[in-house]
Amino acid sequence: MRDFAEDLKELKKKGLLRKLSFIESSCDSHIKIKGKDYINFSSNDYLNLSGHPEIVKTAITALKKYGFGSGSSRLLSGSWLPHKRLEERISAFKKTEAALVFNTGYAANTGIIPAIAGSGDMILSDELNHASIVDGARLSKAEVKIYRHRDMNHLEKLLKTFCLSGKSKGRQCLIVTDAVFSMDGDIAPLKDIVNLAKKYNALLMIDDAHGTGVLGKSGRGGLEHFGLKGENIIQMGTFSKAFGCFGAFAVGSKKLIDLLINRARSFIYSTSLPPSVAEVCVKAIDIVEYESVERRRSLLKNRQRLFEGLNKLGYDTLSSETQIIPMLIGDTENVLRVGNYLFRKKIFAPAIRPPTVPHGKCRIRFSVTAAHTDEDIDRTLESLNKLKI
């Protein structure tokens, strides 16, 4: 029987062998690992809501009422009233007709894409889209074309080729993009993409996982950021980032949601999200919509302080525009050295390596939150100033 020793040896040789770090405290701007305090720059809890008193209070109350496990899949006995409330609440927040809750963002994308595109269809996907989009497109069995990152000329060329090829008759074209790209921190040109989708009669799906709760005047995400409406646009997002909770969602037309209930295999064949978690997510949406203005201001201020500091030190932060700030290092050996150096300095910002990013573009990914202090950021910059790569 194969024992996988050679596989592990090969990963280690390439500097790609991962190990888990176990955290002993709550998810915050500071965490404890083996009893020691670290500044945490590796969390997507952007608004620092996971430990919010109202979140914790709601969780305790919901656990006492519903217990924890949901017992079954949604189409059997696993649909609870908190799921209904959550779907109505996120739909209202996103200003769409309907919504459907998934267990994770990965489950959402690998369920949604094959449900709306199939054999004979065309999917046009940004080259830096999340792995869950890549895998969802593969599962769909549609033809997939990759357009250069945020390159609207290339996207239009592919759309034009598809429409003029004579093969588009009876075929559907789906454009899929992240709103905020999770490893580069830049924002998709959604206004241009929406216009191209309309011009060529293509479906459009947006993964707004890292934009929801952060972008836009009210934190509604990428579309609000650009002043766009969500009509006829399929949006996916998560509750596990700015909302500080767990789970994911799809929002769009009522017909879309009805179709997903009947076709999205990751929804149909999964035990549902615990009802207590759904109840907490409703509270988190309320907080984001009505009480998070100052948190978003703090997030932007912290992001700007670290971003400007890294650039003054001469580090390449690529095209970051958001709370996700990459510090490009290059090869695997050097990025591991930098990650280990930061860890010794009690800064938790693990090295990002292939397959998460391309070879030669390894980086440290700083994920800024509203809870970071000036001292946290300045201490990090001071440590990096002393670093010699």
What's the pLDDT tens digit per position in 165-196? 655 666 899 999 999 999 999 999 999 999 99
* pLDDT: which is higher, 208 or 170: 208
Mean pLDDT of 199-226: 97
CA 228 to chain centre: 20
| Interval 111-139: pLDDT, tens | 999 999 999 999 999 999 999 999 999 99
What is the predicted pLDDT for the residue at 163? 81
Q: Could you tell me where in the chain the CATH 3.90.1150.10 domains are found? A: 19-49+293-385
389 has pLDDT over 80: no
Which residue bears the tokens 């440590």? Answer: 383
CATH class of the domain defined by 53-291: alpha beta
23 has pLDDT over 80: yes
Domain formed by 19-49+293-385, architecture: Alpha-Beta Complex (3.90)
164 has pLDDT over 80: no
What is the predicted pLDDT for the residue at 165? 64
Contact indicator for 367, 47 with CB cutoff of 8 Å: no
- Cβ neighbours of residue 2 under 8 Å, at least 6 residues apart? none
Contact indicator for 323, 369 with CB cutoff of 8 Å: yes
Mean pLDDT of 247-275: 98
325 pLDDT tier (thresholds 50, 70, 90): very high
CA dihedral 386, 367, 21, 132 (to 10 degrees): -140
What is the predicted pLDDT for the residue at 291? 94
pTM: 0.94
Mean pLDDT of 268-281: 98
Choice among 164-168, 193-197, 264-268, 340-344 with the minimum mean pLDDT? 164-168
349 has pLDDT over 80: yes
Q: What mean pLDDT is reported for the chain? A: 95
What is the predicted pLDDT for the residue at 27? 87
What is the predicted pLDDT for the residue at 167? 58
Mean pLDDT of 10-27: 89
1 has pLDDT over 80: no
Q: Could you tell me where in the chain the CATH 3.40.640.10 domains are found? A: 53-291
What is the predicted pLDDT for the residue at 26? 84
Instruction: For residue 355, say if its preceding peptide bond is cis, omega within 30 degrees of 0.
Output: yes
CA dist 369 → 31, 184, 214, 245, 329 (Å): 13, 16, 10, 15, 22
* pLDDT: which is higher, 113 or 20: 113
378 has pLDDT over 70: yes
CA dist 209 → 3, 112, 240, 307, 333 (Å): 37, 14, 8, 21, 30
224 has pLDDT over 60: yes
Catalytic residues: 182, 210, 241
13 has pLDDT over 80: yes
What is the predicted pLDDT for the residue at 388? 76
What is the predicted pLDDT for the residue at 166? 57
Mean pLDDT of 69-89: 97
CA dihedral 88, 222, 324, 248 (to 10 degrees): 20
Q: Where are the alpha helices (DSSP H) in the chain?
A: 5-13, 53-66, 81-94, 105-116, 131-140, 152-164, 190-199, 222-225, 254-263, 265-268, 275-291, 293-312, 332-344, 374-385
